[in-house]
Amino acid sequence: MTAACPDMTDPKSLPRTGASDGPNPYAPPAQGLDSDSAPSSVAGQAPSTPRALGWVLSTYFAEGLPYSLVHQVIAQQYFTDKGLPFEALGMTALLHLPWNAKFLWSPLVDRIATAKRWLVGVQLTLSVLLFLASMIAEQGALMPMVFLLTAMAFVAATNDIAIDAYYMRALEKGQQASLTGFRVMAYRAALLAGNGGLVMIAGTWGWGNALRVGALILAAEAVGHAFLLRSDAPGEARGLPLWNTVSSFFARPGILWALAFILTFKAGDAMMFAMNAPLLKDLGLGTTERGFYYGTLGTAASIAGSLLGGLIATRGLSRVLTPVAIVQSLAILLYVVLAAFRPSIPTIAAVIIAEQLVAGVGSSVFVVFILRLCDGAHKATHFAFGTALMSVAVTLAGMASGFILSRVGFTNLFLIAFAISIPGVLLAPIVSRYAKTA
């Protein structure tokens, strides 16, 4: 379920499709929209003003929460609670498609109206859709929820475009660099609030109340952003043709090996993650327990893993890529142990924490690897293209997971997920050679 000097710990810390690959054309000559702040001249300096820090935290929390609601809270936890067949649960991976394809309508968002108007409008729309979802949840109607969730996915992806466009327009490059860590933290905090807090509320007071709380949070965010964010200007046309940008990506040395690695590195993890909520339910964890152990403890562990992965990757990607790929692959076997031996709750919690820690490390290292493929003049578009390719494999693996589970059971599903991860391990030493020079 994601800046000029991007943070290496999470895909959400990098510019989205629709943001300019070159100098920011929207910033005033000195200080961007936060004109009361002195620009940061060195990447990594502290943020210039509390005002900039405040809206970065609030907007990226508002970006992460809808993603969590769509992919974690409703698609995984709610549908698992309602007994949706495994095949149907796996097909919810299709909800990633709006995020993969948002480059198709990002130019419209970039050119029509301002980013502030877009993000306020889509956040209000999301709050209304989520309130409708709360009423459907109380009735237990599955098909209306599926249609509503699909609409939420497209609106949430548009929310991503608008927030990232505002971030790129409102801040100078030095400020963008200094605030990327806070940007990642806010996004991850939203995942914690969604898959942890809201799921725990659902287990105690029901799904309707949990989704209404989410709707109120998004409505409050929209109102706050309407009054507190400064206005920006609509975007302008881009200079270079798209084909030039894409062709430069494929001109990189060893690109075919790199593409194969991108398509396989996270495929095993994706198959495992798609069915972890049904497994935890099968092991006897109720909604509140899943919200606490997986949504809260697991997400906290993934945050720690992301920070650790970003640290070790930037100190020698070519040396750590293969060991990380091996450990990430072996971590899938922890779920084989859960499925085969059905251990106690403390053991289940330990496995969740360990696996999520490893997954966080793997994700950060993977982000750094894709960044090494990105040319400086086209970094944002190259990164968006690379992560979109990865998402194709993640979506396909997630879709297949339910059909496989219904035929072979949990233990064999996770063994298959482990097998699918092996090509990525074998490719890691090969692509590591190019990581040294990219």
Spans of all domains in the chain: 1-239, 242-438
Q: How far is CA 327 from CA 124, 152, 266, 370, in A?
A: 42, 35, 12, 19
**pLDDT, position 50:** 76
How distant is the alpha carbon of residue 57 from its chain centre? Answer: 16
Domain boundaries 242-438, CATH class = mainly alpha
CATH number for region 1-239: 1.20.1250.20
- Does residue 384 contact residue 262 with C-beta atoms inside 8 Å? no
**What percent helix, strand, coil does the chain show, rounded to 5?**
80, 0, 20
Structure tokens given for 265:
């590195």
What is the Cα gyration radius of the chain? 21
Q: How many CB atoms lie within 10 A of CB 236?
A: 11
**What distance in Å separates the CA atoms of residue 352 and residue 356, rounded to the nearest whole number?**
6
Structure tokens at 378: 């086209």
Partner residues linked to 17 by β-bridges = 19
Give the whole-angstrom CA distance, residue 251 versus residue 104: 23
Residues with Cβ within 8 Å of 358's Cβ and at least 6 positions away in sequence, in order, are 305, 327, 328, 331
User: Within 265-378, where are the H helices?
Assistant: 267-274, 276-282, 287-290, 299-313, 317-341, 345-372
Q: What is the DSSP letter of 140?
A: T
What letters, b where the CB count within 10 A reaches 16 and e where it falls short, cover 386-409? bbbbbbebbbebbbbbbebbeeee
300-317 confidence digits (pLDDT tens): 998 888 888 877 877 788
What is the pLDDT at residue 174? 65
Q: What percent of the chain has pLDDT over 90?
A: 50
Taking residue 31's Cβ as centre, other Cβ atoms within 10 Å add up to 18
* Average pLDDT across the chain, whole number: 82
pLDDT higher than 80, residue 345: yes
CA 363 vs. chain centroid, Å, equals 10
pLDDT reading at 289 higher than 80: yes
> First CA to last CA across the chain, in angstroms?
28
1-239 and 242-438 in the same fold: yes
Q: Which of 127-136, 355-364, 407-416 has the lowest mean pLDDT?
A: 355-364
Say yes or no to pLDDT of 11 above 70.
no
| 60-104 tens-digit pLDDT | 999 999 999 999 999 999 999 999 999 999 999 999 899 888 877
d(Cα 164, Cα 99) in Å, to the nearest integer? 13
